[in-house]
Amino acid sequence: MTAAAKLSSLLVQLKQQMQEAKLWETLPPSDQALASVEPFAIDTLQPEQWLQWVFIQKLSEMLKANQPLPKGFSISPYFDEVWKLEPALNDILKTLNLIDEVCA
């Protein structure tokens, strides 16, 4: 399986896990909130909002357009920290670790 296929599968899995955890929103944040230049839009978005509306959205668009995938990033440490007291989100954290590995 190619890295793109693995990433696509992991993004679907992440979306499903977020929906099951009731972290998936139907309405996007404001354009102003999405325009943040801070890492993870920490000043305007909740972590799960950033995942849904920035990370998943952007990577999905890249996959659809057959663009080269970003490499060498690691988002899981941030989410490990912000959700360290949320054991119900451990499956999401595992998926984020796998995404980091695919994009290493």
pLDDT tens digit sequence for 38-97: 999 999 999 999 999 999 999 999 999 999 988 988 999 999 999 999 999 999 999 999
Q: What's the pTM?
A: 0.93
User: Is 47 a member of any domain?
Assistant: yes
- Rg over CA atoms, the chain: 13
CATH number, residue 88? 1.20.1440.40
CA atoms within 13 A on the CB side of 101: 8
Count of structural domains, the chain: 1
Handedness of CA 50, 52, 54, 60 (dihedral sign): positive
Answer yes or no: is 34 within a domain. Answer: no
The domain containing residue 48 runs over which residues? 3-22+40-102
Using CB atoms within 10 A of its CB, is residue 1 exposed (0-12), middle (13-18) or buried (19+)? exposed
